[in-house]
Structure 1
Amino acid sequence: MKAAHLLAFMLVALLSEHAAFAADLVLEVKSSQASGRVNVALYDSATSFLRKTVASSGGDLKNGVAILSFPNLAPGNYAISAYLDANGNNKLDTNSMGIPSEPYAFSRSAKGRMGPPTFEDAAFAVGSSGTKLTIELSKGRP
């Protein structure tokens, strides 16, 4: 009988530990443009922000909306950068001053001053039960 209890306890502990890393992030990206490819990068710290992604995803806009999913995330703070690849070259194009010329956005509608926002400005929490987030792409500047 004790062995059965021990086995049950170990199974519950294993499942609980796994559940702590099974949060899903569902991201809705909105754009004034009806179609195009959206590319999204997910970051988990200030030191990795805009340098090294935790995950990335892409999807096509349909009627101005793309739904992307980031499954099995550890609960914690994350930030997102996203852009609409209007010309299909798989990079965020900028003008001669380095300002994005394609629609883009950061989580929490974060804006930078003389550059991109900080991780702290864009950070949002993903809880153990998951999170749904909506961001809207700006128009970019020519």
Structure 2
Amino acid sequence: MTVALETVLLAVGPGDANRTDELSDALLEVAAPADATVVLAHVFTSDEYDEVLERLEFETGADVDPDEVAARHSTIRELRTALEEHGVEYEVRGTVGDHGPSIVDLALDVDADRVLVGGRRRSPAGKAVFGSTAQEVLLSSPCPVTFVRGEE
């Protein structure tokens, strides 16, 4: 039985800046044929969020929407460009919290049919274990998860 994909969540974080090509290829492979809507989500820890606010020169003390911060982040901008080139509908979400639980919460919030998360190539001994974020998402997600391995 094939499940129709209506919503695909791609969650990125600080470690994904060098694997946008792999992530966009995997995302397009899953979402484009299904004509699914993509939710591009950037998950920040509190410290990462504060650093990004400073780096992107948001007004100090202003109440800034995490969706706006995510939309201005370079990783999301690169992924948006790839989706726009292929005519894929998308929305951008930003959230602040622990990476794994925040991704699972976003998957529930957007009623995702598939979640994509990135990770890095590991040594032979490390191949049996995913990173803690990927592992938590794989074990706790309400829908199937695709792990996109980078070429690092």
Structure with greater helix percent: 2
Instruction: Give the TM-score category using the shorter length.
Output: under 0.3
TM-score, length basis structure 1: 0.27
TM-score (norm. length: structure 2): 0.26
Structure with the greater alpha carbon radius of gyration: 1
Q: Larger strand proportion, structure 1 or 2?
A: 1
